[in-house]
Structure 1
Amino acid sequence: MARGQARGHRPVPVAGLWRALGLTLASAVVWGVAHVAAGRRAAGFALMGLLVLLVGGAATLGLAFQEKLKQIAVQGTWLNVITAALLVLALVWVSVVIRSYQVVRPVGLPTAMRAASMTLVAVLSLIICTPFVYAANTTYVLRDTLSKIFPGDDTSGPKINASDPWKNIPRLNVLLLGGDGGKDRSGIRTDSMTVASIDTHTGNTVLISLPRNLRFFQVPARLRSIWPNGYRNVNAQLGYDGMLNSVYLSGEKNPSLVPGFKAGQRGPHLLEEVIGNLIGLKINYYVLVNLGGFKDIVNAMGGVTVHVEKALPIGGEIVNGRYTKQPTGWLKAGTQHLDGEKALWYGRSRDADDDFHRMDRQKCLMKDIADQADPQKVVTHFEKLAKAATKTIFTNLPAALLPPLVKLSGTVKSGSDITSLAFSPYKIQGFGTDDPNVPLMRRLTTKAITASTHPKPTPSPTATVKKRRTKRKTSPTAASNGSVSLKNVCG
């Protein structure tokens, strides 16, 4: 028996180590090349066919079922399947490469050359494995992030119909909260409060903003035994001053106000009830963003470009029209690309104007972030985004609602109209922040939603040509009802 045969190697018609390595490299790209060159045509063509099926199938799925794949990407079970599939595919690919080298390697190689060639094959295998392992890890991180943000242990929202999630839910009302609390959230002041009312069929959305300094307002019937004359200061030590932004703290510090909910949930649910009573809507869910961690999200996505209407101070403090503490810097007027820290100040600064202009800026900032969420940036900075999100976003949206929400969000971004209703005394006649006119608030909310549900016909393209960036219109442009298109607010 020949020496090569004694070792279990059948001589093959491919001479030279470098050629063998070249065929191995080619087989890493096109399965079966080395097998065909070695005369093992059946195995080689079978491997080629399998690769074509895998690549063609993946391309077909990616092109034909994009929307379905987006919905699958937010389901924990499917993410586990994808993670396992990626790891199996990595193992299979490496096995094909190693076997390809085995069928074409020359016999009788010296020990040093054999060791060197195996090292090169191992390095090639590692290079092949890396993207699959990275993708599997990213998928796992996504599943872990979704499970942390959407734990599914809060059943306060409407019951979800799996086959028709929007059945009997013509509009989805989500309370968007921006707070400044720490990790335990017990001391949060919600300085940003906006209700997103979304038509579940068309995606048309109304953003209803309420000022933080709304005071002495009516409360729901079940709370009137506590606050018969409207929300008032009930504990000076805790700083309750009758303002809307302290309702969260009232709920967290007084479990009896929101029975049945644990710490971290009482505040948002009390706000859902109070704000829903003010504007006449049933709030389905809430999303709370800790503004301290918000800057990490903006940094992870590479910053955000906004239009700054006028110079805004960073930090500082004004009392009676004078700075008692000087700003540490300024955001210059004009189009600016902001990092997380500056984007946070763009959204929270009010010393240069007032709370009501700040409300407009916050909505514009949300719109700019959504518009600029580039998929490539999201993928390349995914782990940073995921880490920031788990520390920043808190919600009672159930995981089961994520797939239909992803589908609905595609409708919103594909051309649906977004209008803004800001409760500001500068924009709405007869509205004041102290003891506000609740019937007026409810009428305007109903009017804005009705207008969004039945929008006016879109003007001809020639009538809507505008510059890509225009000055933000934060002056009162709709004093009769306060509702304007977000495009008019943000330019």
Structure 2
Amino acid sequence: MSTDTAAPPSHRRGRARNGRARRPRRLGRRIGLGLLVLLLLAGGTGYWLYSELDGNIKGVDIDDAIGKDRPEKLPTSGQNILVLGSDSRAGANAGLKTGNVAGARSDTALVMHIPEGRTEAVAVSIPRDTLVSRPECTKADGSQVAPAERVMFNSIYAQAGPACVVKTVEKMSGVRMDHYMEIDFAGFKDLVDAIGGVTVTVDQDIHDTSSGLDLTAGTHRLDGTQSLQFVRTRHGVGDGSDLGRIGLQQEFMTALLGEIKRQDLLGSPAKTYKIADELTSALTTDSELASLTALAEFGRSMNGVDPARMETIMLPVQYDATDPNRVVAAEPQASALWKAIREDADIPESAKKSPANGGRS
């Protein structure tokens, strides 16, 4: 989850250590930050009894900030949630050595679609270097931000705030976001530290002066700071691609979820409280979800989702014609993807193919 801006024109897909090409990512093996957050909310019902956690959660009135200039809600009971991982350098994040860029960015962005019936889900990852059209937005202080073309997606958070990110996603997709969730870097670090670290295995030395990560090939137990460096690293592994780093982030989240399951953290009230305290302290949601009661109810509604039928894919993108270090939505794949989500329909396989990723999802 890095905030440096250049991305090389070559975005080769990673390969497993046995040399075989990786299959399309499924939740059972690859899980993004947003999926982890929702699974924690859905799986740990006991910790919602701790009323003091309620004050940890920050709320953003997305509806008020955007107004009525939004797509219509789904005619079904399906849900769409925008999940952001932010890297603000303010507050507890200021001391984190995870890069050299000031300000704040939405480094990880997932549009989670949960179809009617709540038995399956798909998460669409939007690459941070995607060039998009930013609509006119209202900032938290009431000031206006003019619309702009060819804006890098992950810069919108700093330019105009989270409500503008939601509005931008809605404009580019035609999909109404029912909810918004955000977790910051400091919260990510503290969550990893709260569970005692996460074990990862790397098949080559990683020395990345930009992220600060310095690992030899082999198995390592990463603390919170090292975990942040790991998911943000780009220059020290593979071809240095931004698209390839999406897979690295998802692989780490798989290890994190596995660690939670291995320690039975969601089955122990004391351990669950510790995780929940860190998670809610780092969590910002839309105003409708900004309470334990609302989050608990939403979590319970997710209990019927079958993890085997949850899938993460990347928004189909292609290299920009004038700037090979940037990508743009690939057509007609992107439009077909968003259309399927709007209609609560199955996503065609053709809509998962990304030209910038070798024609793979």
- Cα drift, residue 410 of structure 1: 3.0
Number of the residue aligned with 2:63: 156
SS in 2 for 1:344: helix
Number of the residue aligned with 2:245: 358
- Cα drift, residue 144 of structure 1: 1.5
Q: What CA deviation, in whole Å up to 9, does each residue of 1:290-334 have, x standing for no partner?
A: 1133111011112223454644335x14xxxxxxxxx85523445
- Cα drift, residue 72 of structure 1: 6.2
Does 2:260 match 1:373? yes
Q: 1:339 to 1:429 in 2, by over 3 A?
A: farther
Number of the residue aligned with 2:134: 219
SS in 1 for 2:177: coil
Give the structure with the larger strand fraction.
Answer: 2
Quote the Cα distance in structure 1 between the aligned partners of 2:254 and 2:298. 17
Quote the Cα distance in structure 2 between the aligned partners of 1:309 and 1:168. 46
Q: 1:184 to 1:414 in 2, by over 3 A?
A: closer
Of residues 287, 291, 296, the one that matches 1:403 is 296
Quote the Cα distance in structure 2 between the aligned partners of 1:302 and 1:477. 37
Higher Rg: 1
- Cα drift, residue 169 of structure 1: 3.1
Q: 1:209 to 1:334 in 2, by over 3 A?
A: farther
Question: Does the 8 Å contact 1:149/1:393 carry over to 2?
Answer: yes
* Percent identical: 22
Of residues 177, 180, 184, the one that matches 1:290 is 184
- Cα drift, residue 348 of structure 1: 0.6
Does 2:80 match 1:176? no
- Cα drift, residue 288 of structure 1: 1.7
Does 2:198 match 1:198? no
Question: Does the 8 Å contact 2:135/2:146 carry over to 1?
Answer: no
Quote the Cα distance in structure 1 between the aligned partners of 2:62 and 2:170. 18
SS in 1 for 2:108: strand
Question: Does the 8 Å contact 1:287/1:394 carry over to 2?
Answer: yes
Q: What CA deviation, in whole Å up to 9, does each residue of 1:91-124 have, x standing for no partner?
A: xxxxxxxxxxxxxxxxxxxxxxxxxxxxxxxxxx
- Cα drift, residue 268 of structure 1: 0.9
Quote the Cα distance in structure 2 between the aligned partners of 1:349 and 1:385. 25
Q: 1:338 to 1:243 in 2, by over 3 A?
A: same
- Cα drift, residue 432 of structure 1: 6.6
Number of the residue aligned with 1:255: none
Question: Does the 8 Å contact 1:429/1:479 carry over to 2?
Answer: no
Question: Does the 8 Å contact 1:154/1:398 carry over to 2?
Answer: no
Question: Does the 8 Å contact 2:47/2:276 carry over to 1?
Answer: no
SS in 1 for 2:309: coil
Does 2:301 match 1:393? no
Number of the residue aligned with 2:124: 208
Quote the Cα distance in structure 2 between the aligned partners of 1:335 and 1:199. 38
Number of the residue aligned with 2:3: none
- Cα drift, residue 395 of structure 1: 1.8
- Cα drift, residue 210 of structure 1: 2.1
SS in 2 for 1:156: helix
For 1:232-251, list aligned pairs within 5 A.
Answer: 242-251=151-160
Quote the Cα distance in structure 2 between the aligned partners of 1:225 and 1:391. 29
Number of the residue aligned with 2:5: none
Q: 1:218 to 1:303 in 2, by over 3 A?
A: same
- Cα drift, residue 211 of structure 1: 2.4
- Cα drift, residue 247 of structure 1: 1.0
Unpaired runs of at least 5, structure 1: 1-68, 80-141, 158-165, 232-241, 252-266, 318-326, 457-474, 484-491
Give the aligned residue type for 2:338.
T
Unpaired runs of at least 5, structure 2: 1-41, 65-73, 94-101, 139-143, 349-353
Number of the residue aligned with 1:420: 313
- Cα drift, residue 361 of structure 1: 1.8
Quote the Cα distance in structure 2 between the aligned partners of 1:150 and 1:479. 40
Q: How many residues are treated as equivalent by the alignment?
A: 285
TM-score (norm 2): 0.62
SS in 2 for 1:420: strand
Quote the Cα distance in structure 1 between the aligned partners of 2:103 and 2:77. 33
Number of the residue aligned with 1:302: 196
Bigger relative contact order, structure 1 or 2, given CA contacts below 8 A and separation 6+? Answer: 2
Give the aligned residue type for 1:331.
L
Number of the residue aligned with 1:343: 227
Give the structure with the larger helix fraction.
Answer: 1
Number of the residue aligned with 1:113: none
- Cα drift, residue 365 of structure 1: 2.6
Q: 1:377 to 1:201 in 2, by over 3 A?
A: same
Q: 1:382 to 1:453 in 2, by over 3 A?
A: same
For 1:95-110, list aligned pairs within 5 A.
Answer: none
Question: Does the 8 Å contact 1:194/1:209 carry over to 2?
Answer: yes
Question: Does the 8 Å contact 1:204/1:453 carry over to 2?
Answer: no
Q: What CA deviation, in whole Å up to 9, does each residue of 1:412-464 have, x standing for no partner?
A: 354323231245547x99997658347546425337759995489xxxxxxxx
TM-score (norm 1): 0.48
For 1:49-128, list aligned pairs within 5 A.
Answer: 73=46, 79=49
Cα-Cα RMSD: 4.3
Number of the residue aligned with 1:86: none
Q: What CA deviation, in whole Å up to 9, does each residue of 1:120-155 have, x standing for no partner?
A: xxxxxxxxxxxxxxxxxxxxxx3221342166x747
SS in 1 for 2:328: coil
Q: What CA deviation, in whole Å up to 9, does each residue of 1:62-113 have, x standing for no partner?
A: xxxxxxx9786466xxx3xxxxxxxxxxxxxxxxxxxxxxxxxxxxxxxxxx
Number of the residue aligned with 1:436: 328
SS in 2 for 1:286: strand
